[in-house]
Structure 1
Amino acid sequence: MPVENELRRATADIEKTIKIKLLERDMTQAELSRLISVNRQQVNRAIKGDNSPKSVAIRKKIYRVLGMN
């Protein structure tokens, strides 16, 4: 299933990139969640690659805050 493998790889890349950006800013997911006014568990789900509309919207907020636009 090449498509499934690509999807998993893309999800892992996004998670890794967000975590690196957090480390560069010396910021935790809890701090990020407070900054964007979103529950910490929801932020974690979004970072881990959940594709619900809510998680996609949260990732967009994360990208803006972390300068990933």
Structure 2
Amino acid sequence: MTEQNVVEGAQSITERIQVSLLHRHMKQVELAKLIGENPVQLNRAIHADMSPKSIEIRRKIYRVLDIKE
């Protein structure tokens, strides 16, 4: 996988989550409370951090926002 593919994949993750939040008129802080996570960790996950914790948080986000992985 090239660096460009990694960047594009990260942007795609971020955009999908942000669009879903906009459609639901929801802020990241509200989402963090809803899934029981720290807003800073949630922000890292939304911006495609690849740590195991961020991946776990994204899975919660996908379930709550009904986003297909």
Q: TM-score range by the shorter chain?
A: over 0.9
RMSD of Structure 2 on Structure 1 (CA): 0.9
5+ residue gaps in structure 1? none
5+ residue gaps in structure 2? none
Which fold has the larger relative contact order, with Cα–Cα distance below 8 Å and residues 6 or more apart in sequence?
2
| TM-score, scaled relative to structure 2 | 0.95
Aligned length: 68
Paired with 1:11 and 1:34, the residues of 2 have a C-alpha distance of 23
- Paired residues for 1:38-53 under 5 Å: 38-53=37-52
| TM-score, scaled relative to structure 1 | 0.95
**Matched letter for residue 13 of structure 2:** I
Deviation, structure 1 residue 31: 0.2
Per-residue CA shift, 1:6-55, capped at 9, x if unaligned?
A: 01001001101100000000000000000000000000000001000000
Q: Which runs of 4+ in 1 moved over 6 A?
A: none
